[in-house]
Amino acid sequence: MQKSLYFLATWGIVLMGILKSDGQVSDYPQHNRTYTSTGEAQQTSVPYASYPEVYPSFNNETIKQRLSAMTNNAVTPRFSSGVRGFINTYAIKRHESTEEMLGKRTIYFPIFEDYLRKHGLPSDLKHLPILESALKPHAVSRAGAVGLWQFMPATGKAYGLRINSSVDERKDPHRSSEAAAKFLKDLYRRYGDWALALAAYNAGPGRVNRAMKKARSKNFWRIQKYLPRETRSYVPGFIAATYIAHYHYEHGLDPVAPPYELQVTETTKVYNSISFNEISNITGVSYDVIKQLNPSYNNGVVPSSQEGNYLILPYHGIGAFIRYIHPEYREGNLNYPQGQENIQGVNYRVVETQYTVFQGDDLELIASIFKCKPAHIRAWNNLSSSQVQPGQVLKILERVPYFEKPRKLVELKAIDFKRAINVVERTTPRKQITKIDLTNTKHRKPSNPDDDKNAENYMYYSIRRGESVKDIADKFPGVSIDDILSDNNIKSARQVKSGKVLLIRTQ
């Protein structure tokens, strides 16, 4: 892809001035310290005021050790002055910008991982947009490349992206990610080496081929000097982006999480033209949020399309929108008066929950409990792999339904009774932690279900194979078979089957 690096265009070329005359590394000034070529910290006369924050120091040996611990990567991590320069920029020079950027991983990484997995590509390629666009869908390079993956117009159109006055799919997280996956896959087939494929992604295959011919080599590090200056820095930049995603906490980088409604979303397809204002009126989601989640539409309008256009909405608004565009879904208690969809249809919210991993748990199981993707859990918890350990506490953003007939606010969900006491909910905005020990709870059923709507009074229970209603009632002292059937609007105990989720009163 013949374009300039967005990262270098906006943050400056970090390699200039960091090399000594002897080729050794010399840091930018950082909190009264600099480093010798061996990485040992020494005092310097640079004023402390040059950096308002004090960030953890780091040396070359530490970086080398951490890079060597990063396994199963598309490009084998390799330390160089270029890698060090990029890390220095992420961790020191652009510290606050990096924190904001890292927070956006919860929005985009699950999408990136889906398309990389679909095309059989290494998952760590999801870090490429960190280098390309700093995870900004509206990013534009000096050469005219646009979007999270920085597509030039010709390349974008070649991979099926629409670019016109109403839509620029280079900014669409889904469309551009699929196009990027296809492009990267084609480049890897051509070169059989990810370092060369990434270089060709930046500079174009023609320049890489000429550099290979001049160097008489197919090794990126040997042909590096024959590539354009920006492309020489591209693979080191990718290594540094992957490193900073793994080790940002070691550098005092605390990701700034976006609002929940930007993190917990659903995607649907829209075939008829509809404006953001109309969508906002239908769902109750603000215009600005709709615009942030759908950056590819230039005029605040989703145009008509026979193939369908992607529309991303917060989870609390997707139900109302689906019922609006599909009236056949308005059945039973979903049959709302015309014009009230934006009020009655918003029946979900998001709460921050902590889950303690049990023996035998894996990310797929935990994700199924909380109805999210494993990629979300990895992003929320800065996990570099899908491995979890018993006793590990995971942060989960849980989608919580508002029950309407009767209205029962459910805050806690568990796969069974024993696990329910290990789920901790962090309420917002007070940020108070509430622990509910079900083993010491007395249960009661109010005469009128609407009289008691406290969130902590209910839990979900997933019926195990072979369990009867009586077996479940026996687990909850004070709860009878009739209570369970009544609270769940079930007429007969025969309708209770394994896999069904029941609402159980806990107080």
- Is the pLDDT at 152 greater than 50? The verdict is yes
Average pLDDT of the residues in 57-84: 92
Question: Could you give the 3-state DSSP secondary structure of residue 113?
Answer: helix
User: What percent of the chain clears pLDDT 90, i.e. is strictly above it?
Assistant: 43
56: Cβ–Cβ under 8 A, 6 or more apart, which residues?
250, 251, 252
Identify the sign of the CA torsion 302, 147, 114, 378: negative
CA distance 396 to 379: 10
Q: Is the pLDDT of residue 59 over 50?
A: yes
Instruction: Return the DSSP state at 130.
Output: H
List the single range of 83-87, 286-290, 374-378, 465-469 with lowest mean pLDDT: 465-469
Q: What is the pLDDT of residues 11-52, one digit of tens each?
A: 443 333 333 333 333 232 222 222 222 233 333 333 333 344
Min mean pLDDT across 299-308, 335-344, 388-397, 457-466 is at 335-344
- 92, 131, 430, 496 from 11: Cα distances, Å: 12, 11, 37, 60
Residue 486 pLDDT greater than 90, yes or no: no
Q: How far apart are CA 369 and CA 258, in angstroms?
A: 23
Strand partners, 434: 425
**Distance separating alpha carbons of residues 59 and 88, to the nearest angstrom:** 10
- The least confident of 226-230, 367-371, 502-506 is 502-506
Length of the chain (residues): 507
The percent of residues above 70 in pLDDT, for the chain, comes to 70
pLDDT in tens, 109-131: 999 999 999 999 999 999 999 99
Q: What pLDDT, on a 0 to 100 scale, did the predictor assign at position 200?
A: 97
Q: Is the peptide bond before 429 cis (omega within 30 degrees of 0)?
A: yes
Catalytic residue of the set 53, 96, 100, 132: 132
Q: E strand or H helix at 349, and its extent?
A: strand 348-356
Burial of 226 (0-12, 13-18, 19+ CB in 10 A): middle
Residue 2 pLDDT level (bands cut at 50, 70, 90): very low
**What does pLDDT average to over the chain?**
75
The span from the CA of 296 to the CA of 174, in Å, is 10
Count the alpha carbons within 13 Å of 405 in the hemisphere toward its beta carbon. Answer: 6
Decide: 133 and 112 in contact? Cβ < 8 Å.
no
SS3 179: helix
Instruction: Check whether 218 has a pLDDT greater than 80.
Output: yes
pLDDT of res. 496: 74
Q: What is the pLDDT of residue 346?
A: 40
Q: Which one-letter amino acid corresponds to residue 120?
A: G
427-436: per-residue pLDDT in tens?
A: 223 222 233 2
Q: What DSSP element (H or E) covers 398?
A: strand 393-401
Range scoring the smallest mean pLDDT among 38-42, 280-284, 492-496: 38-42
Torsion sign across C-alpha atoms 237, 241, 247, 251? positive
- Residue of 297, 352, 353, 289 lying closest to 318 (CA atoms): 289
Provide the pLDDT for residue 97. 94
Q: What is the pLDDT of residues 318-345, one digit of tens each?
A: 878 887 876 544 443 333 333 333 333 3
pLDDT at 353 over 80: no
Instruction: Give the least confident one: 213-227, 412-426, 451-465.
Output: 412-426
Query: Per DSSP, what are the bridge partners of residue 137?
Result: none
Q: 455: which 2 tokens?
A: 């969130």
Res 302 pLDDT > 70: yes
- Which long-range contacts link 256-260 to residues 24+ away (Cβ below 8 Å)? 256/99, 256/100, 256/102, 256/103, 257/103, 257/106, 258/103, 258/104, 258/106, 258/107, 259/289, 260/314, 260/350, 260/352, 260/397
Confidence of residue 498 (pLDDT cuts 50, 70, 90): low
Domain ranges of the chain: 6-251, 260-344
pLDDT score recorded for residue 340 = 32
**Quick check: is 132 catalytic?**
yes
pTM: 0.65
The answer on pLDDT for 307 being more than 70 is yes
Q: What is the pLDDT of residue 119?
A: 95
| Across 73-77, 133-137, 324-328, 371-375, least confident range | 324-328
CATH topology of domain 6-251: Lysozyme (1.10.530)
240 Cβ partners below 8 Å, 6+ apart?
82, 83, 85, 86, 87, 90, 131
